[in-house]
Structure 1
Amino acid sequence: MPTSYDIPEVLDRREGPYGEVVLRRHGELLQIIANGCFLMDTSDGRSERLLVDAARDALDDRPGPAVLIGGLGVGFSLAHAAADPRWGRITVVERESAIVDWHRSGPLCGLTEAARQDPRTRILEIDLIKYVNETSDTFDALCLDIDNGPDWTVTDGNNSLYSDSGLASCARLLNPGGVLAVWSAQPSPEFEESLRNAGFNQVRTEEIPVARGVPDVVHLAVRPG
């Protein structure tokens, strides 16, 4: 019979415009579930840190590059970017107001408190796809982690981000030589081909080893100068 430790405890459940989002505690871990699909937890953060570092390392030596982080999640990407003095402006786009609330005054607050207070940081409550399609802001790096990958989206509407038009919008936001970095739970040769067809250069995939199963990956591509 399972012990209480084995049964996740629901800390908050919200119904929003994109469906249900849940924050739960499982032992020492905090987990985010969207529409019944596991998104992420506080167990590691290696892949989120690699997402940010891989984008930064792929840039040239331009001073104070601006980064857009798509998806706040448990905050690993934001915290890691803010801990790096090489980054300039840090913008995070998160469509779920519940997730933003959990960071501002809830169980996730301690994970991002310093990063949220950093003057370089701003957090926008807006759908990433809407923002990418409509903003006039530009960046040197886009670090996108809103799905389990291009082939495994949280909601059907997110598919458009990885389409030809979505990638064209991403390229429009990038300054010349800017880097697009997309996290995925599994490699996607099809997405690599889509990046090349969209005009990106230096398309490659970096693997993040996991304990079991297929490695997580970060897809990287550079907008031509």
Structure 2
Amino acid sequence: MPIPYDIPDAPEVLDRREGPYGEVVLRRHGELLQIIANGCFLMDTSDGRSERLLVDAALATLDSRPSPGLLIGGLGVGFSLAHAAADPHWGAVTVVEREHAVIDWHLDGPLAALSGAALADPRSKIVEADLLDYVNETCDTFDAVCLDIDNGPDWTVTEGNDSLYSTAGLASCARVLRPGGVLAVWSAQPSPEFEGTMRNAGFQQVRTEEIPVARGVPDVVHLAVRPG
């Protein structure tokens, strides 16, 4: 008689919404929560190493300025926000998220368990907006900008996101950075071409840090500094 294999249950859809940028879905698969956008897997609650390195690498690249301000592009499952809010070195932490559903899942939904303490921190603020619109319109400035919106500059969730990783889009990110400020961009794979785009946008000290994974191509964080 054949030995049965343990087959995990199919993911359970907790919420599905159609927004201005397409469909977003929150699923539970075993103990994991997963966010799917337009049928593309974005992230889940399995680890968070990449998000923590994204924030830590930005802080380590900054000079020793007191209470640096941080802008996070993309709320996701909340790892970046939670990690930044847990670090007393950061000053104000602003998260820009364009999907109203994702914000709801954190404010009054299953993801509140991950981000509740961070959102209760008086340093933290969520802005509902498209990131590119925000950096082009805001009067606020920051010491670091961390982008975790897509699976990287070469693997965007929607076609419109491509402009964020263009020379003009990165120049808009530089606009909200104070002199010597850091841009950190998470990616599911290295992108030498993107390093060139960062330099063309006026950034200096461009480099890439790898994040080891269990198998396959490592995740990376692309880092660059706005000239002083």
Aligned residue runs from structure 1 range 56-205, under 5 A: 56-205=59-208
Q: Distance in 1 between matches of 2:186 and 2:128?
A: 20
> 1:2 deviation in Å?
8.4
- Size of the aligned set, in residue pairs, is 225
Gaps of 5+ in 2: none
Match of 2:31 in 1: 28
Q: Does 1:39 align with 2:39?
A: no
> 1:132 deviation in Å?
1.3
Query: What is the TM-score of this pair, normalised by structure 1?
Result: 0.98
CA contact (8 A) 2:132 2:172 kept: no
Q: Does 1:215 align with 2:222?
A: no
Gaps of 5+ in 1: none
Identity of counterpart residues, as a percentage? 80
Larger radius of gyration: 2
> 1:123 deviation in Å?
0.3
Listed one character per residue, the Cα deviations across residues 158-191 of structure 1 (whole Å, up to 9, x for unaligned) are 1111111111111111000000000000000000
Q: Distance in 2 between matches of 1:138 and 1:27?
A: 41
Runs (4 or more) in structure 1 with deviation over 6 Å come to 1-4
Q: Distance in 2 between matches of 1:2 and 1:222?
A: 51
Aligned-residue Cα RMSD (Å) equals 1.2
User: Aligned to 1:6, what secondary structure does the other structure show?
Assistant: coil
Query: What is the TM-score of this pair, normalised by structure 2?
Result: 0.97
Q: Distance in 1 between matches of 2:79 and 2:219?
A: 16
